[in-house]
């Protein structure tokens, strides 16, 4: 009986743990980055704010998946002194935090009306 309870507790503890990303880290522990999607390859090459279609503040593991789908028009950025600069980040710039800059970029994202 005691063995059955111990096994039951071990199984329930293992199943109640955090979600694990493909890289073995829990999603909540991934560094946050800004996935910027541009309106064209030319806009991506210029890195100009006016060419931003959208910006998303995401865990790095999720951003890498999305970037792979449209790598020619998407890049992963970090900003500020606290920005992650490791593997997977395409560009890092000083300034405001990654979260604040990403929100700014998403706010100015290109819309259909911008073509007029």
In total, how many domains does the chain have? 1
> What does the CA dihedral 76, 81, 84, 88 come to, rounded to 10 degrees?
40
The terminus-to-terminus CA distance of the chain in angstroms comes to 75
Residue 83 has pLDDT above 60, yes or no: yes
Inside any domain, residue 2: no
32-38 vs 74-79, strand pairing mode: antiparallel
Return the closest-CA partner of residue 38 out of 63, 74, 71.
74
pLDDT digits (tens, 9 = 90+) for 43-75: 999 988 889 999 999 999 999 999 999 999 999
Residue 101 has pLDDT above 60, yes or no: yes
Inside any domain, residue 11: no
Distance from C-alpha of 40 to C-alpha of 22, rounded to nearest angstrom: 30
Inside any domain, residue 8: no
Inside any domain, residue 99: yes
State the pTM of this model: 0.71
* pLDDT reported for residue 25: 52
Inside any domain, residue 69: yes
Q: What is the mean pLDDT of residues 92-116?
A: 81
The whole domain housing 80 covers: 31-115
Inside any domain, residue 51: yes
Inside any domain, residue 13: no
Distance from C-alpha of 18 to C-alpha of 70, rounded to nearest angstrom: 29
Inside any domain, residue 12: no
């Amino acid at each position: 009986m005691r063995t059955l309870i111990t096994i039951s507790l071990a199984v329930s503890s293992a199943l109640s743990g955090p979600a694990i990303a493909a890289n073995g880290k829990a999603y909540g522990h991934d560094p946050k980055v800004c996935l910027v999607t541009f309106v064209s390859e030319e806009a991506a090459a210029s890195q100009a704010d006016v060419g931003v279609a959208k910006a998303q503040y995401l865990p790095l593991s999720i951003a890498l998946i999305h970037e792979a789908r449209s790598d020619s028009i998407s890049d992963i950025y970090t900003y500020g002194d606290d920005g992650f600069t490791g593997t997977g980040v395409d560009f890092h710039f000083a300034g405001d935090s990654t979260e604040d800059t990403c929100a700014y970029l998403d706010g100015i994202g290109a819309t259909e009306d911008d073509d007029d």
